[in-house]
Chains A and B, each alone.
Chain A
């Protein structure tokens, strides 16, 4: 019941806005995220943004994973991974 994807707000109006992902644009309702502004990434479910995505928290979660696994993975631009153990 939770299908949702991140898209970036390119234009904000009072109740809705234009969002973009990989060159695809769609009008999305923004009533549930009154504080979201242009440039923010929001999580879209069934045509409505339900929250702003916190980039810093994403980085923290990735750091937690690194801690958990003892493995640092460096990703290059196209997604290929080079694995190097930190201990």
Chain B
């Protein structure tokens, strides 16, 4: 599809970087933009965008990686479910190596548990159909982009009478952490780069609270290099011009009202609940849990013995997730905490801030020469 390729075009990317440079020069203190999406973190790192950003633009990563913010007690319950007899755990690949207090799904699989990596929640439905005598537990982590797909899979299970599929909801909502960050006196962010695909579901109107209540400009942007640079230019323009809006720079897929079919499915099966965020603690009304009439779909209702949660010491994930420090400023970064041996949330996922930094931004001599 040719238009999409044009959003990867180096010429346009560099031209936008130049324009951004002209903008930031006019503001002595520069500006700090926070992105709140693991896919933004990844795509910015993969394209090496930081290296062509003009000086004065500071791009920080917020709590937007669903794997990183999945609390340790969720993983402990997932491991306990994996150990449960006659149970098949289906998960996105992102979770397989995330450490729980004592183990991980990968380790459980090696020890004989039936843990399967799926690409889609719908694949777990197929597993449920093929294994009528087992309980299939799908690990439902994600923000508002992914949760509707999970709701749709549950909906299909309901329609077809497939009874042996349950979901362990690890859903996270994007609004509460944005508010928590803005109300935290220590967080200094001038503007937000908003997640393009979460916005497909929620719509651009959803974010009005950022301007109306907090006076912070924001821009919804896609993930290709041109999209990201365009978002940053828009934010630069707003900061210089003193305007404060939610700009939609991804209108090819984001509308003002979002996706009504997706929102309706979320509404039917889930309601907002308090939930814990790794690194940020408990945030009220920030997750999704099954409505009581769909208790039979809730894997948290299955009785298993879950070990006591053991949190890692010395971990600075909270500050990293709020954009207050950069990964190398954590004492554990690359000293004990690495992608192979992650200690905290930000290193566990390949798209976590620390993991992305470790793999893409770090320049350290490794070979012995």
User: Which A residues form the contact surface with B (CB < 8 A)?
Assistant: 1-4, 6, 8, 15, 21, 29, 31-34, 41, 43, 45-48, 50-51, 53-55, 57-62, 64-65, 68-69, 71, 73, 75, 79, 81, 83
Nearest residue in B to A71 (C-beta to C-beta)? B15
B16 engages A45 (CB within 8 Å): no
Give min CB distance, A16 to chain B, whole Å.
8
Of residues 99 through 141 on chain B, the ones whose CB sits less than 8 Å from some CB of chain A are: 119-123
A3 engages B39 (CB within 8 Å): yes
Q: Which residues of A contact B148 (CB under 8 A)?
A: 32, 48, 50
User: Which B residues form the contact surface with A (CB < 8 A)?
Assistant: 1, 3-6, 9-12, 15-16, 18-19, 37-40, 64-66, 92, 119-123, 142-143, 145-146, 148-149, 152, 155-156, 195-198, 200-201, 223, 226, 230, 233, 249-253, 255, 259, 261-262, 265
The docked-state distance in angstroms from the alpha carbon of A28 to that of B197 is 17
The docked-state distance in angstroms from the alpha carbon of A53 to that of B4 is 10
B155 engages A54 (CB within 8 Å): no
A1 engages B143 (CB within 8 Å): yes
What 16 new A-B contacts, CB under 8 Å, besides A1-B146, A32-B262, A48-B152? Answer: A1-B64, A1-B145, A29-B122, A31-B156, A31-B265, A45-B145, A46-B92, A47-B123, A54-B252, A58-B252, A61-B251, A62-B6, A65-B12, A65-B16, A69-B16, A75-B9
Beyond A50-B148, A69-B12, is A2–B38 a contact (Cβ under 8 Å)? yes
**28 A-B pairs, CB-CB below 8 angstroms?**
A1-B37, A2-B196, A2-B223, A3-B39, A4-B145, A6-B4, A8-B1, A21-B1, A41-B1, A43-B253, A48-B122, A48-B149, A50-B200, A51-B255, A53-B252, A54-B251, A55-B3, A59-B3, A60-B251, A64-B230, A64-B249, A65-B15, A65-B230, A69-B16, A69-B19, A75-B6, A79-B5, A83-B11
Q: Which residues of A contact B261 (CB under 8 A)?
A: 31-34
The docked-state distance in angstroms from the alpha carbon of A53 to that of B265 is 21
B149 engages A32 (CB within 8 Å): yes
Q: Which residues of A contact B196 (CB under 8 A)?
A: 2
Q: Which residues of B contact A71 (CB under 8 A)?
A: 11-12, 15
A50 engages B259 (CB within 8 Å): yes
Q: Which residues of A contact B122 (CB under 8 A)?
A: 29, 47-48
Nearest residue in A to B152 (C-beta to C-beta)? A31
Q: Which residues of A contact B255 (CB under 8 A)?
A: 51
Nearest residue in B to A50 (C-beta to C-beta)? B200
Q: Which residues of A contact B251 (CB under 8 A)?
A: 54, 57, 60-61
Q: Which residues of B contact A62 (CB under 8 A)?
A: 3, 6
A81 engages B145 (CB within 8 Å): no
Q: Which residues of A contact B156 (CB under 8 A)?
A: 15, 29, 31
The docked-state distance in angstroms from the alpha carbon of A31 to that of B263 is 12
The docked-state distance in angstroms from the alpha carbon of A41 to that of B145 is 18
A51 engages B195 (CB within 8 Å): no
Nearest residue in A to B5 (C-beta to C-beta)? A79
Instruction: Tell me which of A2, A47, A57, A73 has the highest count of chain B C-beta atoms within 10 A of its own C-beta.
Output: A2
The docked-state distance in angstroms from the alpha carbon of A63 to that of B197 is 22
Instruction: Tell me which of A62, A69, A73 has the highest count of chain B C-beta atoms within 10 A of its own C-beta.
Output: A69
Q: Which residues of A contact B6 (CB under 8 A)?
A: 62, 75
The docked-state distance in angstroms from the alpha carbon of A41 to that of B251 is 14
Instruction: Tell me which of A31, A34, A41, A57 has the highest count of chain B C-beta atoms within 10 A of its own C-beta.
Output: A31
User: Within the complex, which residue of A1, A47, A55, A79 is in contact with B38, where a contact is CB–CB below 8 Å?
Assistant: A1
